[in-house]
């Protein structure tokens, strides 16, 4: 079927490979594509066209043009709910990415294996080659392209494309115009690109299954093991493009033209949590110590996130009932996975409850506990929501002990990486000085019938204090003195 007839293919991704080896037209034998004809190959994501804009003895260039059908990309999945605005309007049809890598793999399959019936010795010979990708999706900029290709022996010329020349203040986007020059076996060159396109893009368009590792090892034979960036390459090659569709949260972000709102948990694989930083460990230690000192047995972890503290609480039998509460269903899912809830022994499982709730609302399920922990939580709330949190935690839930930790902003000057005035997390709505935290906590204590004492967490810098501050509230009367 001629492409015209289906003609949904509406956009094109492009790659050229040139050689000045003589006779240059031998490139056709190595690629198994005749320079005298334009050919097309159906691939899973559209139609790949192979043609030679020039084919002389001096210079031969092959162009691989992938016509992508973005509408079929959306609708072809038969996924009636696969709606995301980003699917019709995205750079996949234009920019080189894993879509092109797949086409490359299929169209030049024989070439990648380094076999040529007609020119067997040439297939094993490094040839002077030039590669041009006018628009390569490269999250990490020109520098990353350099880091990937230069150690392989390519001379790299990567130019970051401006987002829009009419709005120079927007700067460059994530696309580069990439030109590579070098002397390589054609098979190696194709394999470099086959691996490099998804690695530089940082994500694959399709689900990454176990056999991707085999594919990477095959394509990387002879060069990947010695590449100085092999760890980065493996991590990025195996990363799957984040799911754009399907969740209710994603749809809410979309109706308001917002970036992803579902950011309550970091994008790390649940099975391999980052090793906690020393400060996080100290914070957890201080919280556990304060809970032990209060003699708490039934404990709420309010804003439990991915459940790091829950793990520590469950490890201690003295905590007979542990309730992890978060407003994000995704955070709770991640916590459940991390804690291996489905495989947890029944006795331990019976001690743990995970609940979705919001601290700006009261929740009868949270009443009557010994202690509540708000570890690095309050600073994620807009200041004008704090009175609601105060009522929900200190009057409605009213546990005997409340622990609140929050950054000490005075200490930020000790973090060289932090821009002046910058906050430690992009979702922080404020960060308090010790005096500000004390003023808030004492106000709460006075209004809600609690006593409060303060502790520092982490090294207590003589000038700017410790990095984290902890307030321990102890209930003195059962309820608020209110009208």
Partner 1 sequence: MSELAVPELSLVVLIGASGSGKSTFARRHFRPTQVLSSDVCRGLVSDDENDQAATADAFAVLQFIAATRLRAGKLTVVDATSVRKEDRASLVQLARDHDVLPVAIVLDVPEGVCLERNAARADRQLDRAVIARQRADLRRGLSGLSREGFRKVHRLSSVDEVESVVVTYEKAYNDLRDQTGPFDVVGDVHGCRAELEELLGRLGYTVTRDADGRPVDAVPPAGRRAVFLGDLVDRGPDSPGVLRLVMGMVRAGHALCVPGNHENKLVKALRGRDVQITHGLETTLAQLAGESEEFRRDVADFCHGLVSHYVLDGGALVVAHAGLTEELQGRASGRVRSFALYGDTTGETDEFGLPVRYPWAQDYRGRAMVLYGHTPVPEPEWVNNTMCLDTGCVFGGRLTALRYPERELVDVPAERTWYEPARPFLPDAGPAPERPAEVLDVADVLGKRAVETRLAGRVTVREENAAAAIEVMSRFALAPQALAYLPPTMSPVATSTREDLLEHPAEAFSYYRGEGVAEVVCQEKHMGSRAVALVRRADATGDPGRPVGERGALYTRTGRAFLGADLTTAFLARLATDVADAGVFDELDSDWVLLDGELLPWSVKAGDLIRDQYASVGAAARAVLPVAGSLLAQAAARGLDVAGLLDRQRTRAADAQAFTDAYRRYCWPTDGLTGTAFAAFQVLGAAGRTFADRPHAWHLSVADRLAAADPELLRSTARHVLDVTDPAAEQAATEWWTALTADGGEGMVVKPAANLTRGRRGVVQPGLKVRGREYLRLVYGPDYTAPANLTRLRERNLGRKRGLALREYALGLEGLERLARGEPMWRVHECVFAVLALESEPVDPRL
Q: Are the CB atoms for 448 and 435 separated by under 8 Å? A: no
Q: Determine, following the binding rule CB under 8 A, whether residue 482 of this chain makes contact with partner 1.
A: yes
Among 21, 33, 112, 175, binds partner 1 (CB under 8 A): 175
Q: Are the CB atoms for 48 and 107 separated by under 8 Å? A: yes
By CB under 8 A, the residues from 135 to 154 that bind partner 1 are 135, 137
Instruction: Give dist(CA 202, CA 196) in Å, integer.
Output: 10
Q: Determine, following the binding rule CB under 8 A, whether residue 257 of this chain makes contact with partner 1.
A: yes
Q: 293 preceded by cis ω (within 30°)?
A: no
Among residues 162 and 459, whose Cβ is nearest to partner 1? 162
CA-derived radius of gyration, the chain: 29
Sheet containing 11-19, strands listed edge to edge, beginning at the edge strand earlier in sequence: 39-43, 46-55, 60-68, 11-19, 127-137, 172-184, 155-162
Q: How far is the CB of 103 from partner 1 (least distance, A)?
A: 14
The CA-atom distances, in angstroms, between 177 and each of 57, 73, 154, 335 are: 27, 25, 15, 42
Q: Determine, following the binding rule CB under 8 A, whether residue 54 of this chain makes contact with partner 1.
A: yes
Among residues 102 and 233, whose Cβ is nearest to partner 1? 102
Among residues 210 and 364, whose Cβ is nearest to partner 1? 364
x/- letters, 74..93, toward partner 1 (CB under 8 A): -x-----x-xxxx-xxxx-x
Among 244, 280, 396, 438, binds partner 1 (CB under 8 A): 396
Q: Determine, following the binding rule CB under 8 A, whether residue 433 of this chain makes contact with partner 1.
A: no
CB atoms within 10 A of CB 4: 7
Q: Determine, following the binding rule CB under 8 A, whether residue 210 of this chain makes contact with partner 1.
A: no
Q: Determine, following the binding rule CB under 8 A, whether residue 38 of this chain makes contact with partner 1.
A: yes
Instruction: Give dist(CA 9, CA 290) in Å, integer.
Output: 63
Among residues 60 and 288, whose Cβ is nearest to partner 1? 60
Q: Determine, following the binding rule CB under 8 A, whether residue 363 of this chain makes contact with partner 1.
A: yes
Q: Determine, following the binding rule CB under 8 A, whether residue 55 of this chain makes contact with partner 1.
A: yes
39: Cβ–Cβ under 8 A, 6 or more apart, which residues?
33, 49, 50, 51
> What is the CA angle 309-311-315, rounded to 5?
115
Among 203, 238, 244, 388, binds partner 1 (CB under 8 A): 388
Q: How far is the CB of 356 from partner 1 (least distance, A)?
A: 6
Among 121, 169, 231, 346, binds partner 1 (CB under 8 A): 169
* Part of the chain binding partner 1 (CB under 8 A), chosen from 23-31, 103-111, 312-320, 350-358: 350-358
Separation of CA 14 from chain center: 27
Among residues 74 and 455, whose Cβ is nearest to partner 1? 74
């Amino acid at each position: 079927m001629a492409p015209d007839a289906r003609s949904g293919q509406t956009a094109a991704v492009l790659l050229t490979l040139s050689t000045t080896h003589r006779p240059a037209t031998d490139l056709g034998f190595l690629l198994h594509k005749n320079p005298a004809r334009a050919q097309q190959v159906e691939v899973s994501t559209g139609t790949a066209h192979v043609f030679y804009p020039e084919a002389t003895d001096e210079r031969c260039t092959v162009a691989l043009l992938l016509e992508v059908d973005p509408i079929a990309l959306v609708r072809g999945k038969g996924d009636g709910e696969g709606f995301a605005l980003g699917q019709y309007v995205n750079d996949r049809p234009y920019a080189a990415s894993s879509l092109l890598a797949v086409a490359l793999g299929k169209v030049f399959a024989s070439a990648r294996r380094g076999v040529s019936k007609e020119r067997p010795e040439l297939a094993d010979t490094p040839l002077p080659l030039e590669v041009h990708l006018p628009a390569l999706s490269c999250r990490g900029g020109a520098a990353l392209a350099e880091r990937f290709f230069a150690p392989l022996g390519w001379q790299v010329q990567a130019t970051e494309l401006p987002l829009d020349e009419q709005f120079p203040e927007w700067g460059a986007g994530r696309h580069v115009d990439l030109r590579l020059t070098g002397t390589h076996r054609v098979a190696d060159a194709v394999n470099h690109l086959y691996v490099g396109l998804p690695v530089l893009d940082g994500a694959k368009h399709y689900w990454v299954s176990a056999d991707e590792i085999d594919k990477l090892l095959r394509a990387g034979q002879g060069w990947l093991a010695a590449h100085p960036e092999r760890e980065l390459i493996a991590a990025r090659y195996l990363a799957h493009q984040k799911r754009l569709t399907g969740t209710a949260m994603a749809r809410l972000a979309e109706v308001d033209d917002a970036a992803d709102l579902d950011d309550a948990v970091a994008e790390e694989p649940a099975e391999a949590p980052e090793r906690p930083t020393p400060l996080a460990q100290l914070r957890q230690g201080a919280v556990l110590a304060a809970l032990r000192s209060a003699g708490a047995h039934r404990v709420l972890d309010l804003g439990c996130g991915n459940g790091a503290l829950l793990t520590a609480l469950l490890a201690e039998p003295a905590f007979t009932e542990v309730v992890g509460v978060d407003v994000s269903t995704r955070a709770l899912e991640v916590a459940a996975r991390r804690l291996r809830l489905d495989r947890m022994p029944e006795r331990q499982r019976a001690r743990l409850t995970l609940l979705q709730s919001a601290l700006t609302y009261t929740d009868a399920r949270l009443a009557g506990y010994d202690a509540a922990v708000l570890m690095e939580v309050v600073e994620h709330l807009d200041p004008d929501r704090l009175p609601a949190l105060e009522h929900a935690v200190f009057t409605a839930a009213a546990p005997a002990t409340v622990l609140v930790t929050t950054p000490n902003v005075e200490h930020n000057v000790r973090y060289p990486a932090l821009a002046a005035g910058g906050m430690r997390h992009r979702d922080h709505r404020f960060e308090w000085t010790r005096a500000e935290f004390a003023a808030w906590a004492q106000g709460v204590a006075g209004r809600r019938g609690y006593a409060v004492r303060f502790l520092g967490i982490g090294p207590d810098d003589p000038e700017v204090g410790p990095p984290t501050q902890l307030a321990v509230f102890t209930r003195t009367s059962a309820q608020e003195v209110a009208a």
